[in-house]
Amino acid sequence: RKEVEQDPGPFNVPEGATVAFNCTYSNSASQSFFWYRQDCRKEPKLLMSVYSSGNEDGRFTAQLNRASQYISLLIRDSKLSDSATYLCVVTSAPGGSYIPTFGRGTSLIVHP
Amino acid sequence: GAVVSQHPSRVICKSGTSVKIECRSLDFQATTMFWYRQFPKQSLMLMATSNEGSKATYEQGVEKDKFLINHASLTLSTLTVTSAHPEDSSFYICSARDNYMNTEAFFGQGTRLTVV
């Protein structure tokens, strides 16, 4: 089983739709969780951190479920500019070091 | 936010030559640098982790003699692809983190390497 798994998609949705992605992780000792956004041929950029209590930033809501070992990202009122690949990142700390592990990414296409 | 500068952004080289990629943290101390490789439609795969002043730790399957990493200062790490071959063509991205400040890692712009 891969350490971090995501449905690669693509998720093809119309403007204004609500879309949700999940990401599962295998290491129960994982410490920090993030969602990054990557546009084609560009570097990943942090979208938001994911806290145990959940967090919201405008149209984006991230949640963490430690018991089931998954994180989610909800995008409301999708915009054309939301089209990108969304990467789930989980960090673990074997022996005290911080290692970010990436999921494969979920592709989102928002169409008019 | 913190800035990581990676150069070059794009390089084409002949098979058998070596290519050096630089990664600089511009406004923070990069105590740890991560080097990733991404093939088309694949996830970012960690190649190695380096802590300033120490030898890099390579992931399984990554040849340390082929991918030379130097992290001699708190603001600069380099990855040298030695004797490059066409199968080394990929998108290489560095990521830097200050272990004493926060848990986020910042990314360079990436380097698209094409070996012909």
Q: Which residue of B has its CA nearest to A88?
A: B43
Kindly list the averaged pLDDT for each block of 10 residues, start to end, along chain B of length 116: 87 96 91 90 88 88 94 92 96 87 77 95
Q: B46, A101: Cβ pair inside 8 Å?
A: yes
Residues A33-45: b if buried by 16+ CB within 10 A, e if exposed: bbbbbbeeeebbe
- Candidates A2, A7, A31, A43: best to mutate against B (most CBs of B within 10 A) is A43
Q: How close is the nearest chain A Cα to the Cα of B36, in Å?
A: 10
DSSP bridge pairs for B98: none
The reported pLDDT for the residue numbered B106 is: 84
The reported pLDDT for the residue numbered B99 is: 74
Tokens coding B90: 């990929």
Judge contact between A46 and A60, C-beta under 8 A: no
* Interval A8-29: pLDDT, tens: 899 999 999 999 999 999 988 8
Q: Which residue of A has its CA nearest to B108?
A: A43
Q: A41, B43: Cβ pair inside 8 Å?
A: no
Residue A10: asked if its preceding bond is cis (omega within 30°), the reply is yes
* Interval A67-96: pLDDT, tens: 999 999 999 999 999 999 999 999 876 655
Q: How close is the nearest chain A Cα to the Cα of B12, in Å?
A: 16
